Structure 1
Amino acid sequence: MPRRRELGRSDTVEGDSGDEPDYTVRAVERVCSILNLLQESIDGVSLIEVGQATELPKSSAFRYLWTLEAHRYVERTEDTGLYRLGLGFVGMQSRHLEVLRERARPWLERLRDEFDESTHLGILDGDRVIYVDIVHSRNRIRLASARGERDPLHSTALGKAVASRLSDTRVRELLGRTGMGALTDRTITSVEAFLDELARVRASGYAVDDEENECGARCVAAALPGTRLPAALGIGAPSTRLGPGDVERIAARLKEVSRQVSADPVPEQRGPAELG
């Protein structure tokens, strides 16, 4: 005779009452609450805030976060101790991301050597652009972005290039969530002005951050065509070395390389010396 499953407190049996059956699991609900809280945050949330949102004691909230962090769905910022969404959600297509990174890496190195400036691979992560890979310039004075760092869409070349692959409706939604704070006196702070900028990016095939994210820094980026993830390649440098007259030349090379990255086989089949 089959054993009868014992019912938990949240279980009901159809026909026992007129209420709809409740199949919710409290632990899963708490995980969803944590993830929703992180999704809505721009700068990250503290352990105390997670505990308050989930009605969990601090020690229990920490165990939830620790488990999610172990699976890369949450990451903790070392300097602030705040928690934010991790690459695990991009990891829903994690193999595709890894292949993309493997394809892009030799090209990032090659571009760094060609221009002697830092090169980046970025993707859309929630409502910001995240640096998936970086090859730093060998110059002592250089842009100091870090892998895993997240930047706004509206003020960065990578952000603009990634946003150019989205619909205007989606862009409005993301900007409405994050706001458009002025990081320098050149930052675009109007949604309509930003959409006009995206129209130029789509027409030209490249985006420019002209000291809009950081004074004294200029970046150029091009979206990767034909990928499942909104992604882009970029080159950034102090504006004293990357002047307005250099933008077209760098952009042309980035567009060429972006097309090649999308078309390349997995790098194990080719070495950097074979790359055209």
Structure 2
Amino acid sequence: GGSDPHAVGERGGDIWWCNISGGTDFAGAFIGGNRELPQTPGKMQCRMLGAAVEAWDEQGRPVLDAVGELVCTQPIPSMPLYLWGDDSGTRYLASYFDMYPAGHGRKPGGGDGPAAMGAVWRHGDWIQIGTGEAAGCVIYGRSDATINRHGLRMGTSEVYRAVEALPEVLDSLVVDLEYLGRESYMPLFVVLREGCTLDDALRARIQGAIRTALSPRFVPDDIFAVAEVPRTLSGKKQELPIKKLLLGQPIEKVVNRDAMANPGCLDWYVDFAARRARSEATP
């Protein structure tokens, strides 16, 4: 394997190398190949027919030749209607449709549609859609629940499994603030059992659990004790909103409090983000 041009050439220049990216959740692919298009090592050739895929910037605007959120602005036949056991549709909507306002970007061909059209599908990947000589698509990994720690990727669930195995820890939340070349900073927030204190000894135990179960690279830069981990109504940890908050976005733009099980806990994270921003601004 590999995308090195020489490796591709040695395996036969007349072979059509078709890489795809999609999901088992909708039983299909968003990005794939076309035998009539040129091939570029390290890139997928094009967006698939019938998949209205775009890359959106932080303001929810479509961009080309830049990395953005992978969204699908129009329905495709294989999108699921609901998730098993999710009779109200709450978990389904929270999983794919809760990031952008209903109607935003939904007009076929571009622009906003009425709210009744619903929200776009956000897949949770970073994508760059190239044009001209740079034509092709590149997936840069997960945009939400994945840690990219000094070049190594790990799902946040692996960190939670290690940390929450400790009897003192009831709940936890980790976010990786490395974004498109930004220097990595990874804080870990923990909810402790009543009577427990986050002292140096417990910090060392938490760090040791992560180091042993995963890798020294995934040991957090800081550990903070919090009263609650923010969750959606369906119980999903609000990793992406907290990540965006700590990257400088206002809280009202990154989370819908009405879709949260415990919106009151956000005040602590807003204050933490403000204190961190002030410390970074201080020379």
TM over 0.5: no
Higher relative contact order (CA 8 A, sep 6+): 1
With structure 1 as the length reference, what TM-score do the two structures score?
Answer: 0.29
The structure whose residues are more often helix, as a share, is 1
